């Protein structure tokens, strides 16, 4: 019988908007933050937007208070690495933080793939009478 890896490992990186040079980067590592991690789920359906959802034990509201602002959730970029052992390789998910929810003792974060951000920018662009090329230029400029 083949020996299968037994130590699952997850790393979630959230880059807050408006910061550069590693500032504003929040990194949660399931090995270093064992007391926080409850569950990580990445869904990669073929005909819809991919999403990542992760749940943290947060009975004192610290995580949700650090992210949710009076004007809503910042459009932070998210990368999720999943695997076994130290070498996780490339992220299995890249997207945009879209939702934060609170339950009795947990905080849940939901991120959608970059297509979600494209839809938001496209919707705003059409409202401002921009064509598709102008919308793509705006989106490319924002992500660089």
Q: What is the mean pLDDT of residues 21-32?
A: 86
Q: Cβ-count burial of 52 within 10 angstroms (0-12 exposed, 13-18 middle, 19+ buried)?
A: buried
Rounded to the nearest integer, the mean pLDDT of the chain is 79
Q: In the prediction, which pLDDT does 50 show?
A: 85
Number of domains in the chain: 1
Q: Indicate whether 119 belongs to any domain.
A: no
Structural domain contains residue 50: yes
Residue 121 within any structural domain of the chain: no
| Digit-coded pLDDT (tens) for 51-100 | 899 999 999 988 888 877 766 777 788 999 998 888 888 998 998 888 88
Place of tokens 């070498």: 87
Q: Is pLDDT of 118 > 60?
A: no
Q: Which domain holds residue 93?
A: 8-114
Residues 22-27: what's their mean pLDDT?
A: 83
């Amino acid at each position: 019988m083949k020996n299968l890896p037994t130590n699952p490992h997850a790393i979630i990186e959230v880059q807050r908007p408006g910061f550069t040079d590693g500032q504003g980067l929040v990194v949660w590592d399931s090995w270093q933050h064992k007391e926080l991690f409850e569950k990580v789920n990445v869904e990669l359906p073929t005909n819809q937007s991919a999403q990542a959802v992760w749940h943290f034990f947060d009975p004192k509201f610290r995580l949700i208070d650090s992210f949710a602002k009076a004007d809503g959730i910042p459009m932070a970029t998210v990368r999720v690495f999943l695997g076994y052992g130290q070498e996780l390789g490339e992220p299995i998910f890249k997207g945009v933080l879209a939702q934060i929810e609170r339950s009795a003792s947990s905080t849940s974060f939901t991120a959608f793939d970059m297509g979600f951000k494209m839809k938001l920018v496209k919707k705003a662009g059409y409202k401002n009478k921009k064509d598709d090329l102008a919308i793509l230029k705006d989106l490319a400029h924002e992500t660089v």
